[in-house]
Structure 1
């Protein structure tokens, strides 16, 4: 948990993940704003004044000079930077690096609005300063050098910069009623033996399972980077953004916009610092409102302390970002540190495993999951489903699995459980969840329904990858969750769902 000792004096340079929620708010508007566009445009002048009156704007001339000009009404690329600077860093004059880096492309002529995260440990050439991690550009030369570095890397125009603070992220999440998200495993660090990671790691204490995350817990979850990789962290942030976007409607954003704009203005710096510029950008957002949001995964290898990408992959991802279409294909992405690849997870082998009925890379599970299900069933008023199949090399995390209470937004209590399974890949966990809450937001809007083994399953896709497979039994709902980076293939996800047994 990051410290913020002087709450009323937040550092003007921003911390990473709040930028995500600023994007989430904008994405929500993009996805739904057509219904309120006329009314909103009538009040933009007042809203812009609220934002600017709280100190929004404020980036220096060097940053503005580094940006690319854009024709009025033309497509725009926005760079959102969040630094890891805290109040203590200002006092001690510590160097500050960008904690998270996101590009967003607004182009109403395309089939979607593109959003792409750049790994903070990406190995790049920083103009005038040699080779380093991309987040060092911010420490050396602030937003202006970050703009130059990213433009040289991807050869794309960057028209605007937004710098955001973690205090604003916490306040915006709380203001909007918090976000339900699927916490894939136990996240814990208190900087004390035997679990502590030392003073360089933020404290965190989150149990596994689907739950509502508010301010500080949400920030801890999206910022975590202790026992996983930069690519897994980006996937975790993308999951939270997707959940926030799906749960917070444009009506909430619009009706509460004045309070949100005060938060954004107080905790944000940007070159978009006058009413006309804000008006042009929001008009572009409204024109893009009918288009879906398309995540463009960044292609990268984990090699030592760096994330690296080949020139070919950089050209491909830049092309996909500038020419995004609905349902864009996923570029190659892999992690040599974990010995597996995202592209590898997409392989759809028809070959059967030695067990005869399971896809390649899977095997029959031992008795551990069944034993755990028996213990969980003793604490719950409904049946417990458990997987009888497993990914090869995976292991059930009995210390992370649990039964717990969950509350809906009306305060009604339900019972739930989570079984956590760790794969061989660093930071990648899949799991089984069940609960008596019949309508958790995660199960809204399935992509497909399918009959298998006499049961109706609901399938939820992230692009071409299955992220969830759910089913209902009695008064309870259940689902299999893929890993954060979707490393289980679609066949493996379906095989896990077909394999489940039941206790009770």
Structure 2
């Protein structure tokens, strides 16, 4: 006898395009942080079982169903995503009997809010000093996973917010990810194009995780993608969280994932996810997946933005070399809670495609933006060296930069990359340091005129010279300013911490010029 569905369990009846768009919006969020079960909605809420049942991960152990709060279908939901170095059952280490006790590497909260047309992402640094219920006070949050796995981590995260804001903090799903699964999911979609802010290099044999990634816009796959989101050797856990969130944001624009429309591809990806990821007992249930799909459809049918939420006001211990714990006040936890749950103070400006003209300056008047210096001579010196190697890519450099900026090299990085159709493009990257650890901004140019990163600007501003600048926001701060010419595309990327003000970002972009121009 065919089963009859209730209204809450029934998958939403929508067109194939809307369904695919809904799938992609949530899928990429989960792939970026380590999961992808929204694809089950595309399979009409019937997740396939891997061919070999032994490969399928059991639900997260010791996580009772009652600790996961159910959500009305299509309603907002908060998901806790945990990244660990847990090995899959079929991994080489597991087969050799080398499966050590897993350690927590990443703690990320994802808020899907269809009513507000937003997705919020908040990373909790693993060195954050917290109370682990029933275990210890003033200890690092990642210790919760070591002592009690996902269950104790969930209890700790809930206590962290509830003790500061005096309200219940509900979590509606938990996903536990391992490194192998992250790499395979990224590889399955052909990699993710990422705007890498600077050089990341650490050789083998130093005692730290090795990495070798050059600056500039590029496609990261497999181990490079994992190395990038896990790196924290020369900066801190705060920067790693920001990189993970930025990786997530850029992942949501990838065409390769938007085109995951065949049931065969969807089934293969879900099989990978079920082999390498673990979920709470309710997550893969028909009712929960149907509700998740409804939420995804709402997000897909509206102008949804991804907000990166940061914990502000974090301080170090008195001796950060010996004691790496990080501290935050209840007041700043409250701010992060409000921004995460409601968007208070973190909402992007309302998106508009109508160009806003910048007022013309009177002839002879200098810029009124403070903290800027003339950088034409530095740019011209780079242009002389760069232009012969760039072939058909015009080299634009800033005529003005912030007073504290120092370029990291005398010449830009010049390289080639392939677009999503395999066509080869010429590119360059200029990297500027502002004198604060881990904070770098950049100038990117490439002959690929429509890269994913330039999709859906928040605002368009037309300069006095007629140049149309595309403004991309992270809350109230500009994270990137883009610009196209008939032959190429260019953008200015803000630092990871958004340290360059909006006015200065626009001033730098407006000052882009060519040699002898």
Match of 2:166 in 1: none
Pair 1:426 & 2:427 matched: no
1:493–1:63 Cα change, 3 Å: same
Structure 1: gaps spanning 5 or more residues: 1-17, 193-197, 331-354
Query: 2-side partners of 1:211 and 1:92: how far apart?
Result: 35
Q: 1:451 aligns with which of 440, 453, 462?
A: 462
Match of 1:79 in 2: 80
Pair 1:135 & 2:158 matched: no
**Residues 96-137 of structure 1: CA deviation (Å, up to 9, x unaligned):** 432111112344444433332212221111122222111111
1:321 to partner: Cα distance: 2.5
1:64 to partner: Cα distance: 2.2
Query: 1-side partners of 2:118 and 2:235: how far apart?
Result: 30
Pair 1:178 & 2:191 matched: yes
Alignment of 1:22-33 (within 5 A): 23=33
Query: 2-side partners of 1:184 and 1:391: how far apart?
Result: 17
**Contact map agreement 1:81 1:98 (CA 8 A) in 2:** yes
**Contact map agreement 1:208 1:400 (CA 8 A) in 2:** no
**Residues 56-108 of structure 1: CA deviation (Å, up to 9, x unaligned):** 44211x32267243255364321110013467997667554321111123444
Pair 1:308 & 2:317 matched: no
1:296–1:398 Cα change, 3 Å: closer
**Contact map agreement 2:130 2:160 (CA 8 A) in 1:** yes
Q: 1:380 aligns with which of 360, 379, 390?
A: 390
Match of 1:362 in 2: 372
Partner secondary structure for residue 252 of structure 2: helix
1:364 to partner: Cα distance: 2.7
CA RMSD of aligned residues (A): 3.2
1:93–1:386 Cα change, 3 Å: same
Query: 2-side partners of 1:308 and 1:51: how far apart?
Result: 47
Match of 2:340 in 1: 321
Partner secondary structure for residue 105 of structure 1: strand
Query: 2-side partners of 1:149 and 1:457: how far apart?
Result: 48
1:468–1:273 Cα change, 3 Å: closer
Query: 1-side partners of 2:278 and 2:235: how far apart?
Result: 30
Match of 1:478 in 2: 490
Q: 1:223 aligns with which of 219, 222, 230?
A: 230
Match of 2:15 in 1: none
Match of 1:270 in 2: 279
1:134–1:290 Cα change, 3 Å: farther
Alignment of 1:41-440 (within 5 A): 43-45=44-46, 47-49=47-49, 53=53, 54-60=55-61, 62-64=62-64, 67-70=67-70, 72-73=72-73, 75-85=76-86, 96-127=102-133, 128-155=135-162, 156-192=169-205, 198-199=206-207, 201-248=208-255, 251-255=258-262, 256-271=265-280, 272-290=283-301, 292-300=304-312, 301-303=314-316, 304=320, 305-324=324-343, 328=347, 357=367, 359-365=369-375, 367-381=377-391, 382-398=393-409, 401-440=412-451
1:312 to partner: Cα distance: 1.1
Partner secondary structure for residue 170 of structure 1: helix
**Residues 32-58 of structure 1: CA deviation (Å, up to 9, x unaligned):** x9xxx7xx36x322x254599552442
1:414–1:327 Cα change, 3 Å: same
Match of 1:5 in 2: none
Report which stretch shifted further, 450-459 or 285-294.
285-294
TM-score in terms of structure 1 length? 0.79
Query: 1-side partners of 2:502 and 2:82: how far apart?
Result: 34
1:455 to partner: Cα distance: 3.7
1:212–1:296 Cα change, 3 Å: closer
**Contact map agreement 2:482 2:490 (CA 8 A) in 1:** yes
Report which stretch shifted further, 476-485 or 421-430.
476-485
Query: 2-side partners of 1:99 and 1:248: how far apart?
Result: 29
Query: 1-side partners of 2:52 and 2:255: how far apart?
Result: 24
1:241 to partner: Cα distance: 0.9
1:444–1:19 Cα change, 3 Å: closer
1:362 to partner: Cα distance: 2.7
**Residues 341-377 of structure 1: CA deviation (Å, up to 9, x unaligned):** xxxxxxxxxxxxxx96252333233733331222111
Query: 2-side partners of 1:328 and 1:453: how far apart?
Result: 28
Structure 2: gaps spanning 5 or more residues: 1-27, 163-168, 350-364
**Contact map agreement 1:420 1:429 (CA 8 A) in 2:** yes
Report which stretch shifted further, 86-95 or 250-259.
86-95
TM-score in terms of structure 2 length? 0.77
**Contact map agreement 1:27 1:245 (CA 8 A) in 2:** no
1:246 to partner: Cα distance: 1.2
Query: 1-side partners of 2:465 and 2:32: how far apart?
Result: 44
